[in-house]
Structure 1
Amino acid sequence: MSYPATPPAPPTDGSTDGTTQEPFALRLPAHQVSPRAVGYWRLRAFITAGVVAIGFGIAWALWTDRPWWFTLLAVVLVLLDVAYALVMPSVRFRVHRWEVTDDAVHTRAGWISIDERIAPLSRVQTVDSSQGLMQRGFGLRSLTVTTASAAGPISIECLDAGLAQQLVADLTAITSRTTDDAT
């Protein structure tokens, strides 16, 4: 696999009878998404802020006898949208992580509510890659791994396009060697 090397697993205490082993500490997935994801997320957030501002501007222009609180609400919401667009992408970049090993796919996403998913490769049913128009402009792709889980697919957003294509090929090769039916 040509993506960054995976750090070693946490050490165990070396016991063989299983009675004195300490609980396994789950480490963070090893890799971050593409640094270009920050610009992509920021542009999407500013587009959303612009749509909100235009919506309030239209309502402000059409509502001639509007109360004073409407203008205050509009200004506060637009300022909050702009602050979100400035702060969120950098924070999101630091917390979104992923890792693919020979045994599993591990993701961690979310900056307010954190979602951590691990799926054994023996449970993988499909591997999909997608690239929207804005992602294409930033050279990014997203990867979706569908498993036999009720929790739904695992997604890795905003990978470098070449890396995402390599991951699809690697995961397809690894999972095709599995003789189970992934259910």
Structure 2
Amino acid sequence: MPLDDRERRLDPRIVQVWRVGNGIGALFVLGPPAVFAPLLFGRWGYVITVLAAALALAWIVAWPRAQYRRWRWQLTDLALELRHGVVVRRHQAVPYFRIQQIDVAQGPVDRLLGLATLQVTTASASGSAALPGIPADDAPGIRVELLARAAEAVGEHEGELRDAV
């Protein structure tokens, strides 16, 4: 995968990863009210159960697709830029010279679908940034490219960084 400076999308398989995560979360958060509401509130409890099921269905089916449509990432001359968010839009710019460490993480569903997340740790108050939905085969190459850009950027800012310490 050539890493030019164009804006990129996540791998579409990330939608399935998010759906599984949302499904597990919905089961624990909305499951108990859906089961106990009819016992506690009678007829109104069934209404609560139907509403909880509808909310869970939207959370599992629609929300991950909306997240996917809003996710973009890009390697610019100066930074890794991440744009995401359905309700609250975020634009993170991670300057290469602030990158300290990049980990490749894979949960069980990620491994099953051949995906990985790049966890970028920075030397800033905001901490780190995550780049999910990267094909597992491409993740090591992207990691190496980011580390190379980070090393080059640190070399360009070496005097400034030494003064800041």
Do the structures match in fold with TM over 0.5?
yes
Report TM bin, short chain.
0.7 to 0.9
- 1:85 Cα offset (Å): 1.6
Give, as a single letter, the amino acid of the residue that structure 1 aligns with 2:4.
Answer: A
Matches of 2:93 and 2:33, distance apart in 1: 42
* Unpaired segments ≥5 residues, structure 2: none
Q: How does 1:1-183 map to 2 (within 5 A)?
A: 2-3=1-2, 5-7=4-6, 30-52=7-29, 54-60=31-37, 63=39, 66-177=41-152, 178-179=154-155, 180=158, 181=161
Structure number with greater Rg is 1
- 1:121 Cα offset (Å): 0.6
- Cα deviation, 1:119-153, whole Å, max 9, x if unaligned, reads 21111111122111111111111112122221221
- Cα deviation, 1:8-55, whole Å, max 9, x if unaligned, reads xxxxxxxxxxxxxxxxxxxxxx00111111222222223333444542
* Unpaired segments ≥5 residues, structure 1: 8-29
Matches of 1:52 and 1:78, distance apart in 2: 11
* Aligned-residue identity in percent: 27
Provide the aligned length of Structure 1 versus Structure 2: 158
Task: Give the TM-score of the pair, scaled to structure 1.
Answer: 0.75
Matches of 2:114 and 2:149, distance apart in 1: 26
More helix by share: 2
- Cα deviation, 1:149-174, whole Å, max 9, x if unaligned, reads 21221211111112222111111222
